Structure 1
Amino acid sequence: MSTVKLEGLRNRTVAVTRPPERSAEAVELIEGAGGRALVAPTLELKEAHTESLREVCRRADEWDLVIFTSQAAVESLFQLCREFAGKIRKDCLVAVIGPRTARVAGEHGLRVDIVPEDYTAEGLLDALTGLNIEGWKVALPRTLSARKVLPRGLEMMGAEVLVAEAYRSGLPEDTGPAEELIDGLLEGKVDAVTFTSPLTVENLFKIAGNRRKELIEVLKRVKVAAIGPITLRKLEEHGITAVTPERYTVKDMIAALAVSMGEDVD
């Protein structure tokens, strides 16, 4: 991606609401374009080495299909079960939500067989429709706060699904940066906000407390970017419009935001 495409971010303050360990790419893009990145995480991911995740490891040679919907799920499983890639059968398929998760899975020795064109749960289900997975044993390590679309869809296709809690998604222990973001928005000091999941939206509103309604009104007036349609839908529930890229990646979201902001100054 060229810097030219990001010129709309120059001298603009853009908030990144992802967890700090997932924010580096967005920060680099924003600051590389001459903007100011305000890292204000509204979400914290914590590994959860649960009994269900241990079961995924214990039954490694039973799985017909293993699905990862985030990098965090891959990392948590391999923290617990470093030998997992060597324990699964050679004919076990591995599906992931998108290219970044595929890269992390590959780094841990997994051969990734399926990456959907649409980086959503619905996209994964579409990518699996050509397979007859009736009777398959499917491992799905993820956070339990995720939508039920994927496991329900797999079960409707006849699969036996183990949803294993691999990590927990919650409010950050330190809400100070998010509160500073809210202050900045209400004071007119923030030009744009990026959201990468419905939880990053919901948690910002929780942190806002009695300032929630005022915050929503401000978000209707500043630039907002959503990584994909699921996050967009959560914003639209509150009457907030957002820029959404054609490809649901951080890079494409930042590019779409830059184009949108560049149009405003033309």
Structure 2
Amino acid sequence: MSKPVVAITRPKDRAQKACEIVERLGGEAILAPTLDLKPVNTRSLKDFVAKKDEFDWIVFTSPTTIVSLNKFYPDFIKSITCKLAAIGNKTGKLLEKQGLTIDLIPADFTAEGLIDEFKKHGITGKVIGIPRTASARPVLPEELEKLGNEVILAEAYKSLFPMDSKAVKDLISKIENKKIDAITFTSPLTVENFFEIVEDKEKIAKFLSDNLITVSIGPITAKVLEKYNVAYIYPDTYTVPDMMELLFEKLKEQ
């Protein structure tokens, strides 16, 4: 029996682990990033770093934010004294490797999950810093402000349209020729950018639903797949290892 071929659409610099898991589970990984991430040293990030001592909380939503801060302000993270929240184990573990203690990680690795935790702990009247990409969903800062907090945002990286669109077009060709068994999406933009490159969106959406197993990392990304009428599955815990474990369970059932 040939190895199942799994398409990975996440950014190239964050795809290694996903590819390794696919190969460990007995599959062949094809990398076709539909999103690129670029750390940027913006004015808002510079101002954010200067306000370090004003924060009661800093929320880290992505490992790329940490990469950006370490690149442009290498002394910043180790000098943090306020409380820290992280969305996702990967982000939390990266901070812990740098000697920090994470005060809050939601069980549900989404902005909504973190908001629920802040509500549960009655966190209000605080100054909360959130370094992230400018294209991130507005729900986190909006809901934290509704709780009576002051939120200061900073752009730490840019989420870009894939610079290597040829790889994505090659992937689409393989999908049409039934050479792909499954495809994974790890953020709303990985889906949006994929369909931006697709010419016949209805045709490819039907392929993803009928001929492939399409796996979303969680419900937020799944909502975008629904917009394109793509059938999907996602794991109970919104991590790359869990989505791959679920995928290979489904492959075995087939």
Which TM-score band applies after superposition, normalised by the shorter structure? over 0.9
Query: More displaced, 134-143 or 115-124?
Result: 134-143
Identity over the aligned pairs, expressed in percent? 41
The total of aligned residue pairs comes to 253
Unaligned 5+ segments in structure 2 are none
Amino acid at match of 2:132: R
CA offset digits 1:106-150 (Å, max 9, x no partner)? 223322111110000001111111334332111100011111110
1:59 equivalenced with 2:51 (yes/no): yes
Classify the secondary structure of the residue corresponding to 2:120: coil
Out of 7, 23, 34, the residue aligned to residue 31 of structure 1 is 23
Give 1:86 deviation, angstroms. Answer: 4.3
Give 1:25 deviation, angstroms. Answer: 1.4
Out of 131, 137, 153, the residue aligned to residue 163 of structure 1 is 153
TM-score (normalised: structure 2)? 0.95
1:7-156 counterparts in 2 under 5 A? Answer: 11-89=3-81, 92-156=82-146
Does the CA-based 8 Å contact 1:95-1:114 persist in structure 2?
yes
Amino acid at match of 2:62: S
Give 1:231 deviation, angstroms. Answer: 0.7
TM-score (normalised: structure 1)? 0.91
User: CA–CA distance in 2 between the matches of 1:250 and 1:148?
Assistant: 24
Give 1:251 deviation, angstroms. Answer: 0.4
Residues 188 and 55 of structure 1, relative CA distance in 2, 3 Å threshold: same
Amino acid at match of 1:107: K
User: CA–CA distance in 2 between the matches of 1:30 and 1:86?
Assistant: 34
What is the match of residue 4 of structure 1? Answer: none
Amino acid at match of 1:213: E
Does the CA-based 8 Å contact 1:61-1:87 persist in structure 2?
no
CA offset digits 1:159-194 (Å, max 9, x no partner)? 111111111111121111111110100111111100
User: CA–CA distance in 2 between the matches of 1:86 and 1:16?
Assistant: 33
Does the CA-based 8 Å contact 1:85-1:109 persist in structure 2?
no
What is the match of residue 211 of structure 1? Answer: 200
